[in-house]
Structure 1
Amino acid sequence: MKNLFLLTLLCLLSTSLYAQNPGSPTRFTLQGRAVDTSAAPLPSSTVMLLSPKDSSMVNFTRATDKGAFTFKNLRPGTYLLKISFVGYIPFNQMVKTESNSVIDLGDLKMKPITKELFEVVVKTARAPLTIKGDTIEYNAASFKVPPGSTVEDLLRKLPGVQVDQDGNIRAQGQEVKKVTVDGKSFFGNDPKLATKNLQADAITKVQVYNDKTEQAKLTGVEDGKKEKTVNLELKEEFKKGGFGKITAGVGPASNDIAPRAEIKGNYNKFNSKQQFSLVGLGNNTNQQGISWNDYQDFRGSNSFNWNDNADFGFSSGNRFISFGDDEETLGIPVNGGSGRGFSNNAAGGANYNYDTKKTKLSTSYYYNQTRLELNSLRNRKNFLESGSFRTEENSNQINFNGNHRVSIRFEKQLDSLNTLVFLNNSRLGSGNSNVGTRQDLLRIASLTETLSTRNTTNNLSNTNQFGSANSLIYRLKFKKKGRSFAASATYQINTNDGDLALRARNEFFQATNINDQLRIIRQDQNTNSLRNEYRASLLYIEPFAKKFFWESFYNFSLRYDEVDRNVLNVGEVGGGTRNDSLSRYYKNNYTFNRLGSSIRYSYKGLNLSAGAAGQQFTLDGQYASDQTSRTFNTINRTFTTLIPNVSLNYDMKNNRYLYGGYDVNVRIPSSRDIQPIINNTNPLFINEGNPTLLPQLGHNMNAGFSYFNPASFTNLFVNLYGTYYVNQIVYSQSVDPQTLITTTRPENLQGGKNLGSYMSFGFPLKKTKATLNLNTQLNFGNNPTNINGIRNETNNENYTLGARLELTPTDWLTFYGNASIGRTNTRYSINSGQNQSIVNNTYNGDLTLKLPGGIYANTTMNYRVYQNDRFGFDQRIPIWNASVYRIVGKAKKAEIRLSGVDMLNRNLNVSQYAGQNYVQEERIQTLARYFMLSFTYNMRGVQAKMRRDGGY
């Protein structure tokens, strides 16, 4: 695969170089000058060469400041020359090959649009591509795709737009942040949501431009930040009515694997005011949750809601404070990819949106459940100051999770100046798990391994969870431009009740005392937790000079945590006694206040902001072994921090953009980390809290530059970033020298940093036919931790090189190939003899052909390489998928597809990772080769994609 990819690339480059050889006698140069009726130049006019047969684009460029343009190395033939300029009638002229090597058309005069000429302009064929400042508008009809193709396929045809194998979109070298339909968020702002279900023939225009942030739109104050945005303009006949599809597939059993089956469908109906959606799925093909494209249809215009952040500050929506890892998501789980292990899945829901100029309402209900079976092998090697030990682990688990989710969003524009928003997201879930694990700990000395400890554990658990977040946001725009006010209030509640039956057998083969050679643990653990949080925020922006704005904000949070954990040691015949060392009851009250202000300068593309905030965090907590205890231990801590913030955004015109900034973020220890609770779920790796933890501060800096040439469609993007930590929260380890039991405890260490960069460079090898994109990513990290009381510095160096080749030479063939070569060098200060290098390489190829008879064939190859020479790890996994499908019926609403997934039967989930003082590799058995015959019916025409990896 690797050699095939390189060979294809070299062949293409050779062809491209030959095509550009000016010495070729069959080529000619075409040049001219775009001017108005008075012979004044029309700078930056869009100039295109089209095929006279179907008006498809052959080449394009932009005129210079003097209106001049040149096309070199053109093949002999007949071309349609089209020139467009804002406010002028498009210019059209046929150009035929002559004997001259250079054809000079001279001054080409364009007429301004007048009222009398408006009808002529309407009748004039639209230009395939128009460039207006930093906006590029594509005429969808000029870029041919096969019948039934999706918007994603259309985007792949557009010059300057790249869509990778996962559906991520980059335009002009930058990631697309938002997608709109007819200027509205009908399909959310995630590119993968907005492009996978709409048909290409539903689109009349595609516009790519830099949009303002939602905060800038709200306040009227330019913050200098830009979001690369794609707008899809629908044809009139697609702007109303219902659409949807249903897919059903079945495949035979093979290799002791049960028959595969799946069914999924959605129905959507919307008009200018209302949207209604139904979605459902069921499968045993590892599609764990609703797919991105179905989620797009299901949630409609409220897939994502911008500017719903209820915490203000520094115009970024970042509170500069986080509470460890306690936060829980309440949203609908969206993945849709092939997960690990073997899973049976079911889901369904309904959504209703009401959208007018002054009132917007969205309500939804969604249920999903997954039964997941995981069989995994892990091999982990831990490094100590002197020596090391290895852990071999084999685990089998069956997990079930089911969740009900409800969401409400209501926005009311009271008048032209006042807006009110209410948000609710709630979840009710339950689950159970059965986990069986065997772990062998082997002591390594003098190149020999000796079995030291063996653990056999069986855990049965049940959980019930409830969560609800509610926010009310009020926004006021004053009549004075730039002056605005906002206020918000939030209430959030989370409960988590769980029961765990822990049964463990621990054998210590090197214990000298016979009584210490075997430890049996039989415990019933019950944990009930409650978290309430109240938040409020205020924001005021005042323009005090023509170019200056003053922004002030206040944040308040009051959080209450209560956890009651009871652990019973049970006997063989039942009954039990309380284990006071593992049982805990605690209450924590967190109070957070932040007051800040900043000054913003905005003029002619230059936007500079500087400010600071003072914030205070207070923890008032108490804990004991039981809530009935007479004596409680207390934790009373107050932390005061000054938070600076500086940002620079400079639109340098001519499609060049420079940005940079500095800020500080604060991470508050989580409740789990700050309480002295001992977690012995894995008896050989015990976790305990630390009530003396301090908040972690991170000093963040970033800078970047982007450039896009609209004439050549060459793009460059460079980003640099770095973080330095103060009082970093790390998880230090203490390893018992006899039993090798590891106890992990969070604590603060000074130092630690992370530096990195990302660069991408893209250019067309042949415009509209072939594009090459190169990228590189570097990351250097330093992470301190204590191992048996000795500070260990783990230094990681990550290097990644990538390339992507896109070939779309004709309507019947597309090829996408990419390679990613990654290497991680890890060095340990306490045991440099264990330094190592990890290789993670991925090679992908995706080929689609349109065959006679309306048949499509698609094949993909994914080749993954995992290597670690230090420990002799070498895993190579080729995954080959293929499908043949045909659109049937006069209305082209149905599709029959035969798919083969993992044709080589090699699928295996593999990962390798180098951590603080260890390296770990993991293998998980995962759904492998199967075949499926599926039928799809679509109300508006099946989406026959020119790139597909096994289904919709």
Structure 2
Amino acid sequence: MKKILLASVFSLTVFSSFAQEYLLKGQVLSSVSNTKLSSATIFVETLNDSTLLNYTITDSSGNFELLVKTKEDKARLNVSFTGMQPFVKTIPLSDSTTNLGIVKLQELTNDLDEVLINVNRSPITIKKDTLEFNAASFKTRPDANLEETLKQLPGVEVDAAGNITVNGKPVQRILVNGKEFFGNDPKIATKNLPKEIINKIQVVDTKTQSQEFTGEEGDSENKTINITIDEDKNRGYFSRATIGGGTDDRYEISGISNYFQDDLRLSVLASSNNINSSGFTFDEVFDAMGRRARTITRSGGSFGINGLNFGNNTGITKSETAGMSFVNEWKEIYDLSADYFFGSNKTDTRNSARRENILPDRTFFSNSESNATRDNNSHRGNVNFSIKPDTLTRISIRPSINISQGTTQSSNLSESLDENGNLINTSESENRNDNLSMNFSNRFSVTRKFGSRGAFLSFTFDNENNKSESDNFFFSGRETFGDNPNTQIQDQLISEENNEDTYEVQSRYRAVMTDDLFLDVRYSYEIESSKNERSVFDFDENTSLYSNFNAELSNEFKVKGETHIPSVGLRYEGDKLRTGFNLGLLNTQLRTENLIQNIEFNNDFNNLFASANLRYEFERSKRIGVYYRNSNNIPSIQQLQPVSIQTDPLNIIRGNPDLKPSFNQDININFNNFDFKTRSGYGFYMSYSYVTDQVVSVSVTDEDLIRRTTYDNVSGAQNANLNFYYSKQLKSENEDTYRLRGNISGQYTKNLGFTNGQQFESENYVVSPYLGVTYEKEQVITLNPGFGLDYNLRNFNLNSNRDEEFTNLNFSLEATTYWPKNVVFGNDITYFKYGNVAADFRSTSLQWNMSLGYQFADDDATLKFKVFDLLDENIGTRRQTGDDFVQDTDQLILERYFMLSFTYKFSKFGGKDPNSRRRF
């Protein structure tokens, strides 16, 4: 072993002694107009096997500097620019600095098929609105997936949860050859698409289908990644199946299969597990188990795929899912994509909570224990069909349906104590809720272009129809103590039906005033209607039936809101500056009707509608954007309905039919810059929102510590965010890669409300710095240490003595080794420390996930031994601060288990491997 290490060190030393650095300089111009070509791609490769040595792009003056490390005395220089013939030249490498002078590119003609092949091999190409990477230019392991490839791209970051950002902007969609890959979950594509079929990776601003057709500017705040596959490679299939079993009866079974045939693509998947996983976001090291435990338990809420809910992250979920996707195109006229998903889950939760409630003149405490089991089955189907009868017309229809049916059984015990620890009340409740919900939505759109200069007329009709039904068998007992002790029992059947329908019509006409100036005329009409029927029946002991109708707690209520927005605007789209605005009327009509009491409320509200945006591009990879928009939100039927909801015996809620719509104003500013020469990027994002007539809670807590809540409008709520990020990539002489990434974010939130007759304000400040480093030695080891903290400060004007100030911190280390050959050893370690948690709650945790895998059968088969939470320290302790409370909770979570799994991959494609290097 010692001899092998000495030989390796000697070989590395010998190689380093021969490798030398050469600095190449030059300027790229157009031969026709002598125009300086900004963002032209420069790359250098070896002569014998076309290995990429380095690449860069030109600056705004067409200049470039490129540092090359090699032991060769000659190399091939490549220069390419969209619309120009590529420049290829063999250059000598003798002097440490070589000035190549001016490189002039000729205009591209149609008879240069052979040269066009070379254009496709540029590591990076920057077009007007597209950043394009050649997958073959970025080294990865032979069996890498799309996610591993994305991690190699400059400016692209993939976090431990699989979320993707490009130059600080989140990626919302992954497309394959311009079509959605298995619905709208990007992680299905990133975790499952093998690199061997990937040709180009294109990053564009997210656009609607209409914007893609008309060529309009997209949403620069969100990115879409489009994966292109070589035409001869777009025939074949690839599949993957995993089965695993472990301690505590933990298991995972999953499979996904994809078939490609030119424009046709068929995908199927299925999964079953009880390890809190959707089953399809395969991690190359940990499979469906995932990496960090904190990605499962750090925050509450549910996880899901394509709109299907698979349970609450803080419980333990058994999920079973299946689905299929179909995509095809006929004669470039008809385009169809359709998918169907089925999901079944059973989630067990347990929660222990301690809450300190803050009132203007005192505080009180409540303790609770709750348990719940939820069974749910879901079906979701989507269709996207479009017709292009000619090159100027596009018609599309996009229906979607979602059906969910389930049962929830839960129980709760709670007690309330005054600030001296005296028991004031106790309560217990049990319920069984059977529910059915159905959702249907559709978008129909027609777009007609006029000429090629950007004029068009569009019409869009959207509808969304929701219906839910539930039968809740509810029992509760509440006992109050003190001078007037009282016991109250509720034994009821609560039947509820809720219908919500939304219809929206939008029309838009764009006229061309000059080559860069456009006139937009728009009209939008939206109607929202809701109807809630709530029938409460008390239990009749004589008949043992729920037959006594409770008129006080029952109601039938309707809400109807109409919004008209006529507007006119101008749009300027230059090479560097893009800006525009729209002004109009925002008219809202709100109608509420109490059908039982025969009472109506009618109100009209008028505001100035305004939206504006500005984007200035200093260079192709350096831009700033400013966006403003206002909007309104109609209160929910639950906030408007004047009926008491008593399913929590200690918190009774009643709506207010006099509520107004809230009026929101939002402004966003963002700046980003990525220097391909230094492989470094930085930027910032700022947002601010102000709400007028926000719907807030109005609560009164009596001496028995029973809270009654309704709603009112108040102005002044605010939310502000600031995020600054930086990233840099370095390569050492022996090709080791180092990536530095850091960001610091801040958030300010101001919430308003009323409690016991006094208006309160709660202000929350959060500052979160993070620093991460990646070290990668190809085919040997990858290390990802990271450190982050969250500083929290919350001020309560109700009681300044209860202001909260604490810091949460975490340190993480992802370590994956690929040595010896065919062995993959993964370790993911995260240390948490939660600040200011109650003394008898655990505040620290060291979580360690481990995976040891062996690949065989030409790397198609993998046997893995995995451990979740090796040290058995995963905790469900959390502190939550609200507008008028501080709460500590301890929840049921997934604990340590060991698992052995087997994965097999099989694939077959036509054509050559698009990632193999071609000789010229």
Question: Matched residues in 1 for 2:113 and 2:444: separation?
Answer: 50
Aligned to 1:358: 333
Say whether the 8 Å CA contact 1:50–1:80 is kept in structure 2.
no
Aligned to 1:204: 199
Say whether the 8 Å CA contact 2:532–2:637 is kept in structure 1.
no
Equivalent residue of 1:594, what SS? strand
The gaps in structure 1 that reach 5 residues or longer are: 1-23, 254-258, 295-327, 943-952
Equivalent residue of 2:191, what SS? coil
Equivalent residue of 1:414, what SS? strand
Question: Matched residues in 2 for 1:755 and 1:114: separation?
Answer: 49
Aligned to 1:274: 264
Aligned to 2:499: 530
Correspondent of 2:578 among 589, 607, 613 = 607
Say whether the 8 Å CA contact 1:31–1:68 is kept in structure 2.
no
Aligned to 2:88: 90
Aligned to 1:861: 829
Correspondent of 1:929 among 886, 896, 900 = 896
Question: Matched residues in 2 for 1:192 and 1:183: separation?
Answer: 17
Q: Alpha-carbon deviation of 1:566? A: 1.3
Q: Alpha-carbon deviation of 1:684? A: 0.7
User: CA offsets, 1:93-123, max 9 Å, x none?
Assistant: 4647xxx8x4546659799799999688589
Q: Alpha-carbon deviation of 1:513? A: 2.2
User: CA offsets, 1:615-670, max 9 Å, x none?
Assistant: 3322333225x5xxxx5122222222221222112223242212112221101111
Question: Matched residues in 2 for 1:753 and 1:885: separation?
Answer: 50
Say whether the 8 Å CA contact 1:291–1:337 is kept in structure 2.
no
Question: Matched residues in 2 for 1:608 and 1:113: separation?
Answer: 31
Q: Report the CA distance shift for 1:614/1:912 in structure 2 as closer, same or farther (over 3 A).
A: same
Letter in 2 for 1:469: S
Question: Matched residues in 1 for 2:423 and 2:310: separation?
Answer: 42
Question: Matched residues in 2 for 1:567 and 1:116: separation?
Answer: 76
Q: Report the CA distance shift for 1:35/1:468 in structure 2 as closer, same or farther (over 3 A).
A: closer
Q: Report the CA distance shift for 1:338/1:765 in structure 2 as closer, same or farther (over 3 A).
A: farther
Aligned to 2:315: 341
Q: Report the CA distance shift for 1:635/1:577 in structure 2 as closer, same or farther (over 3 A).
A: same
Question: Matched residues in 2 for 1:646 and 1:126: separation?
Answer: 38
Correspondent of 1:900 among 847, 864, 867 = 867
> Aligned runs of 1:125-136 on 2, under 5 Å?
129-132=123-126
Aligned to 1:789: 757
| 2:721 is aligned with 1:753 | no
User: CA offsets, 1:792-827, max 9 Å, x none?
Assistant: 111111111012212223222112222221111000
Aligned to 1:744: 709
Q: Alpha-carbon deviation of 1:215? A: 4.8
Equivalenced residue count is 864
Letter in 2 for 1:532: D
Q: Alpha-carbon deviation of 1:842? A: 2.9
| 2:400 is aligned with 1:425 | yes
Q: Alpha-carbon deviation of 1:695? A: 0.8
Equivalent residue of 2:341, what SS? strand
| 2:666 is aligned with 1:666 | no
| 2:140 is aligned with 1:145 | yes
Letter in 2 for 1:610: F
Q: Alpha-carbon deviation of 1:26? A: 11
Letter in 1 for 2:577: L
Equivalent residue of 1:152, what SS? helix
User: CA offsets, 1:822-870, max 9 Å, x none?
Assistant: 1110001111000011323232221111122411111111222211269
Q: Alpha-carbon deviation of 1:375? A: 0.9
Question: Matched residues in 2 for 1:889 and 1:26: separation?
Answer: 37
Equivalent residue of 1:481, what SS? coil
Q: Alpha-carbon deviation of 1:764? A: 2.2
Q: Alpha-carbon deviation of 1:88? A: 3.5
Q: Report the CA distance shift for 1:335/1:882 in structure 2 as closer, same or farther (over 3 A).
A: farther
Aligned to 1:723: 689
Equivalent residue of 2:196, what SS? helix
Say whether the 8 Å CA contact 1:555–1:595 is kept in structure 2.
yes
Letter in 1 for 2:329: D
Q: CA-atom RMSD, angstroms?
A: 3.6
Q: Report the CA distance shift for 1:29/1:482 in structure 2 as closer, same or farther (over 3 A).
A: closer
Correspondent of 1:653 among 611, 619, 636 = 619
Aligned to 1:163: 158
Say whether the 8 Å CA contact 1:173–1:708 is kept in structure 2.
no
User: CA offsets, 1:689-741, max 9 Å, x none?
Assistant: 011101111121221211121211221211121111111111122111x2111
Question: Matched residues in 2 for 1:64 and 1:403: separation?
Answer: 53
| 2:256 is aligned with 1:262 | no
Equivalent residue of 1:597, what SS? strand
User: CA offsets, 1:893-933, max 9 Å, x none?
Assistant: 22211111111112233432211111222221111111111
Question: Matched residues in 1 for 2:442 and 2:312: separation?
Answer: 33
Question: Matched residues in 2 for 1:352 and 1:551: separation?
Answer: 37
Output the TM-score relative to the length of structure 2.
Answer: 0.86
Q: Alpha-carbon deviation of 1:158? A: 2.9
Aligned to 2:470: 498
Question: Matched residues in 1 for 2:854 and 2:827: separation?
Answer: 15
Q: Report the CA distance shift for 1:685/1:277 in structure 2 as closer, same or farther (over 3 A).
A: same
Say whether the 8 Å CA contact 2:453–2:515 is kept in structure 1.
no
Correspondent of 2:519 among 525, 528, 550 = 550
Say whether the 8 Å CA contact 1:30–1:104 is kept in structure 2.
yes
Question: Matched residues in 2 for 1:365 and 1:570: separation?
Answer: 42
Say whether the 8 Å CA contact 2:837–2:878 is kept in structure 1.
no
Say whether the 8 Å CA contact 2:206–2:218 is kept in structure 1.
no
Question: Matched residues in 2 for 1:337 and 1:669: separation?
Answer: 27
Question: Matched residues in 2 for 1:748 and 1:609: separation?
Answer: 33
Say whether the 8 Å CA contact 1:137–1:207 is kept in structure 2.
yes
Aligned to 1:622: 593
Question: Matched residues in 2 for 1:422 and 1:293: separation?
Answer: 35
Q: Report the CA distance shift for 1:730/1:224 in structure 2 as closer, same or farther (over 3 A).
A: closer
Q: Alpha-carbon deviation of 1:293? A: 9.4
Q: Alpha-carbon deviation of 1:53? A: 8.6
Moved more, 803-812 or 190-199: 190-199
Q: Alpha-carbon deviation of 1:261? A: 1.5
Letter in 1 for 2:189: A
| 2:663 is aligned with 1:697 | yes
Equivalent residue of 1:867, what SS? coil
Say whether the 8 Å CA contact 2:491–2:539 is kept in structure 1.
yes
Question: Matched residues in 2 for 1:91 and 1:606: separation?
Answer: 36
Say whether the 8 Å CA contact 2:561–2:634 is kept in structure 1.
no
Output the TM-score relative to the length of structure 1.
Answer: 0.83
| 2:464 is aligned with 1:507 | no
Question: Matched residues in 2 for 1:329 and 1:847: separation?
Answer: 26
Moved more, 869-878 or 591-600: 869-878
Question: Matched residues in 1 for 2:459 and 2:66: separation?
Answer: 57
Aligned to 1:386: 361
Aligned to 2:294: none
Equivalent residue of 1:238, what SS? coil
Q: Report the CA distance shift for 1:616/1:881 in structure 2 as closer, same or farther (over 3 A).
A: same
User: CA offsets, 1:533-576, max 9 Å, x none?
Assistant: 43322222222344322212222233433222111222456244
Equivalent residue of 1:449, what SS? coil
> Aligned runs of 1:26-105 on 2, under 5 Å?
30-33=23-26, 46-48=41-43, 57=52, 59-62=54-57, 77-78=71-72, 81-86=75-80, 87-93=85-91, 95=93, 102-104=96-98
